[in-house]
Every structure is written in C-alpha cells, then in structure tokens.
Amino acid sequence: MARDGNGSKTIKSVGNAFRVLDALDEHERMGVTALADEVGLSKGTVHHYLATLLEHDFVERADGEYQLGLRPLTYGGAVRERETVFQIGKESVDRLAKTTGETARLVVERHGYGITLYQSTRHDRADINTHLGTQEDLHSTAAGKAMLAAMDETRIDEVLDWGALHRYTDGTIVEESSLRAELDDIRSRGIAFDDEEQFEGVRCVATALVTETDELLGAISVSGPVERIDDDTFRREIPQEIRNVAGVIEVNTAYLDWME
C-alpha cells in the first residue's frame, strides 16, 4: 500500500486503475500501447486493468481501441442528484441559457477544481468546450475565480499551495499576486470575467452562489465565442442576467433551509 498526502494508506493498484480511466477521459479513445506509454505501466499490466474495467463496464472496446464506458455515468448521475444546488438551480440555468442564447453552466468546487455539475445550451451550438463533469483549474475560469473570491483566505491559501498556476492562453493569470488582486475586484463587483483565459476565442461571465451564512454552494456562468459576445454584452448585459438568476437560486436555497 502507498499513502496519500494525509498519511492514510492507499492501494496502488486502485490508483493505477483511476490513472487508466483518467487517460481515457483525456484522450477519448486509445490503444493499449499508447495507454501504457501515457500512464507509465507495461502493456501487459495495462491490459489486465483494461480487462477488469471492461468486465465491469467502466470501459468499452471500439475499433481495436478502448474508451470510457457508461458505468461511471451511473455514479455521476446519482452524485449530481443529491446536490441541493443542482436540484434548485437546474431550471434557472436553463432559463439563463435561453435568455442569453449562450451556454450556461452550474459549477461546484471539489478538491481545488471546478466541476461542471450541469450545462444548458441551445441545440444548434457547436462551439461548446465543456460538458457534464468537465474539471477545470479555478484560476483560469470565470466560475473558478468567482468561487475562489467567495472562499476565506485560509482556503484560498490551501488551494493555491497545491501547485503552480498553469497557463492556458496568453490571457491566463499565472502570477499569484495578480490573481489575488483580481479576486479583490471580483468581491467588489460580485462578478468574475474570463476573457479568453481558459480557451482562445471564448469569453465567460460568472458569479458565486452562497448561502445566507456565506457557505459556498458553487457558481453559475455564461460563456460563448467572442464574435457573439461583444464588450457591452460581456460587461453589462450578461452580468445583469447572471445576478438575477443567482439571486433566485440563493433565495430558493434559503427557503429550503427554512423548511427543513
């Protein structure tokens, strides 16, 4: 057994199985050789992992290669349904997508990453960069920065201590001092902006969702290509729509708490 960062015992083989799944998630479809090179294990060992994962429907074979199966969706769907913010916020996110004509997302923070819990968009949009379950760094996205700004300083320090700020585009904030200054601005205006910081050619606006006691629930965001989201839409129209929707979600969350 190995140990995790907290000193607890972990099972190395289980960790390796997740590395295989992560590689398939990133590359969509891979052969055994490419997968072995990616995870740093022998072809024979990877084949054994794949045989086990295949038996339990975590992976599927397609044209001589492997891809993720549908079994993880069972777990993901069950986890999402138990999230109060999803139950309360789903319809509001749908309305936000309809009102703006762009992609609206509900994002939560787990282990220092932003996870897409729900996404709504027009059926004819082909320029979507995210999907259900997408995991992103917090510093490079509007939703992530909005959630960081809603955290206390101890939690922010903890998240930033986990690693360097990765650069995704020329606009990505990679200096901690610049990021902290940006978080101060976000707290002042209640809105976070991502102007081609995560994806080239994509703008995103977000705000955090918090309870009456300032507990972070997640964030909602609207994103789309720069050719559709001009400066006025980016800085004024979408932020106002997001504020309205966030207010509804937070009021409904408070009402649910009172009922309980």
Q: What is the pLDDT of residues 13-22, one digit of tens each?
A: 999 999 999 9
Give me the residues paired with residue 135 across strands: 115
Which residues are CB-neighbours of 80 under 8 A, at least 6 positions away? 86, 117, 118
When pLDDT is cut at 50, 70 and 90, the band that residue 133 belongs to is confident
% pLDDT > 70, the chain: 92
Distance CA(118)–CA(247), nearest Å, equals 18
pLDDT digits 0-9 by tens, 207-249: 999 988 889 999 999 999 999 999 999 999 999 999 999 998 8
When pLDDT is cut at 50, 70 and 90, the band that residue 3 belongs to is very low
Distance CA(199)–CA(130), nearest Å, equals 10
pLDDT surpassing 70 at residue 148: yes
pLDDT digits 0-9 by tens, 24-36: 988 889 999 999 9
pLDDT surpassing 90 at residue 56: yes
Spatial CA neighbour of 92 closest among 111, 105, 74, 109: 105
When pLDDT is cut at 50, 70 and 90, the band that residue 1 belongs to is very low
pLDDT value, residue 82: 77
> Minimum mean pLDDT among 57-71, 112-126, 200-214: which range?
112-126
- Between 128 and 179, name the one with better pLDDT: 179
pTM of the model: 0.79
In this structure, the strands spanning 202-210 and 192-195 are antiparallel
Spatial CA neighbour of 239 closest among 185, 193, 182: 193
pLDDT value, residue 127: 66
pLDDT surpassing 70 at residue 134: yes
pLDDT value, residue 5: 47
181-207 per-residue burial string, b: 16 or more CB within 10 A, e: under 16: ebbeebeeeebbbbbbbbbeebbbbbb
pLDDT value, residue 4: 41
Distance CA(121)–CA(1), nearest Å, equals 44
pLDDT value, residue 256: 57
pLDDT surpassing 90 at residue 149: yes
Mean pLDDT over the full length of the chain = 89
